[in-house]
């Protein structure tokens, strides 16, 4: 099979899997909202770790496969060339599996942080306004990171697949695993705080996920991606500051008795 046909098949599969993941997320958003009520607005949405991680991985497939496609296709092109020359060939899906393994580990950290935040909030008895303002501060941290040098370094790695291949190539199956993990780490370094910002915006808020997905895609693929990242950083800083003043501006804000403990709110 010609390289062009192989690339088209891989791209079609990536798009199809991502589209399927988006369809599942949209359907599950309404089901989770109906079943969990106010727990929908808690960091873990009332989920245990296995279900949270399953939802997280579906989110990552939906949001990251489109942005990772250039790197995946570049990896396959190099491997196809090695196969034509009679050298050791490694399936592209080994690279993809390692890439998703890294995001799975990030999901584990996200759950631990979310569960810890719920526990602290329950013991502190935070009001809705205070909880929203904490979310606003988190949005400002995400905005500041968009303007940081570390963000620039990670984004530069994600925007140049050929550059990553030239500097990080490893032969063999385990080399592909290492490359997938390393590229996933750069991607995580590029946008982990954008995903963290989904917690105050609503972890199953499909509209927020779509905006973050489009932003990550624009940063990594469009000619002025670096400038887009800076503009989004300023926007997050301004929005977070607005939430500090007007906590009702946060979509997850739920009016309640200011003295009502967080654990009681989540049980209602």
Three-class SS string for 209-259? HHHHHHHHHHHHHCCCHHHHHHHHHHHHHHHHHHHHHCHHHCCCCCCCCCC
User: Is the predicted pLDDT of residue 74 greater than 90, yes or no?
Assistant: yes
**φ, ψ dihedrals at 61, nearest 5°:** -60, -45
Q: How many domains does the chain have?
A: 1
**CA–CA dist 212, 62 (Å, integer):** 11
pLDDT category of residue 126 using cuts at 50, 70 and 90: confident
Question: For residue 180, what are the domain limits?
Answer: 3-267
pTM here? 0.84
Three-class DSSP category at 136: helix
Of the listed ranges 34-43, 65-74, 125-134, 202-211, the one predicted with least confidence: 34-43
Taking residue 72's Cβ as centre, other Cβ atoms within 10 Å add up to: 23
Contact 25, 204 (CB under 8 A): yes
Least Cα distance to 217 among 163, 262, 167, 158 occurs for 158
Residue 75 reports pLDDT greater than 90: yes
Q: What pLDDT score was predicted for residue 35?
A: 54
Q: If pLDDT is split at 50, 70 and 90, which confidence band does 199 have?
A: confident
pLDDT for the residue 262 = 45
């Amino acid at each position: 099979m010609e390289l062009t046909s192989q690339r088209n098949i891989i791209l079609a599969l990536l798009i199809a899997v991502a589209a399927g993941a988006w369809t599942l997320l949209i359907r599950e958003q309404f089901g989770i909202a109906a079943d969990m009520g106010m727990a929908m607005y808690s960091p873990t949405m009332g989920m245990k770790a296995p279900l949270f991680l399953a939802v997280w991985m579906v989110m990552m497939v939906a949001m990251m496969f489109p942005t990772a496609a250039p790197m995946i296709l570049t990896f396959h092109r190099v491997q196809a060339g090695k196969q034509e020359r009679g050298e050791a060939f490694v399936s592209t899906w080994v690279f993809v599996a390692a890439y998703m393994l890294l995001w799975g580990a990030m999901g584990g950290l996200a759950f631990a942080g979310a569960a810890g935040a719920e526990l602290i909030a329950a013991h502190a008895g935070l009001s809705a306004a205070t909880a929203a303002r904490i979310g606003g501060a988190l949005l400002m941290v995400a905005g500041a990171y968009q303007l940081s040098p570390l963000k620039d370094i990670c984004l530069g790695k994600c925007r140049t697949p050929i550059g990553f291949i030239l500097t990080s190539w490893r032969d063999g199956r385990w080399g592909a695993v290492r490359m997938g993990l390393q590229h996933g780490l750069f991607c995580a370094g590029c946008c982990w705080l954008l995903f963290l910002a989904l917690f105050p915006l609503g972890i199953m808020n499909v509209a927020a996920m779509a905006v973050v997905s489009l932003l990550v895609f624009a940063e990594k693929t469009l000619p002025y991606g670096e400038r887009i990242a800076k503009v989004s950083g300023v926007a997050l800083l301004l929005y977070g500051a607005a939430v500090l003043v007007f906590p009702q501006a946060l979509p997850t804000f739920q009016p309640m008795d200011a003295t009502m403990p967080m654990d009681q709110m989540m049980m209602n």
